[in-house]
Structure 1
């Protein structure tokens, strides 16, 4: 495997990882921001107030985007990694 193929495969893998993690991370950021703003406005400093809604939002977004994540990863493995492994 030459260096160009290695770095191109690594670049594609990092881009796929970014695409797959973006929905969950963006929802966690938005929910955390909204809850933090709510806590600052009401002076409620309860730790479970941040944890439970964020966890529920992350699980629901994961459930909704699970098909997209699976299809993206399977496509990457079938079109990029398997030919490289099978080719030598």
Structure 2
């Protein structure tokens, strides 16, 4: 196993992590921005008003994109495990 192989696997893992986390982070960011604007306009500063919509948005995105995320993870793990013999030998 060369240093190039390790760097390639690490790069692929980090890009996969970014691709999988991006939908959840984007949804939570958008909901947080909307709630913050609502709180600024109405001058209601309740902590649960900021937390609960973000939690609901994250759960909704995970419910909708969860199978896609899991498929990407399974494919990456399968490719990594299948490439172990070529890395060792």
TM-score tier by shorter-chain length is: over 0.9
TM-score, reference length from structure 2: 0.93
Do residues 3 (structure 1) and 3 (structure 2) align?
yes
CA distance in 2, matches of 1:35, 1:7: 40
In the alignment, which residue of structure 1 is the partner of 2:19? Answer: 19
Q: Which runs of 5+ in 2 are unaligned?
A: none
RMSD (CA atoms): 0.9
Alignment match, 2:36: 36
Alignment partners' CA distance in 2, 1:29 and 1:53: 11
Q: How far is the alpha carbon of 1:77 from its aligned partner?
A: 1.1
| Displacement over 4 Å in runs of 4+ | none
Work out the CA distance in 1 between the residues paired with 2:77 and 2:85. 12
Q: TM-score, normalised by structure 1?
A: 0.94
Deviation at 1:85, TM superposition (A): 2.6
Shift of 1:35: 0.2
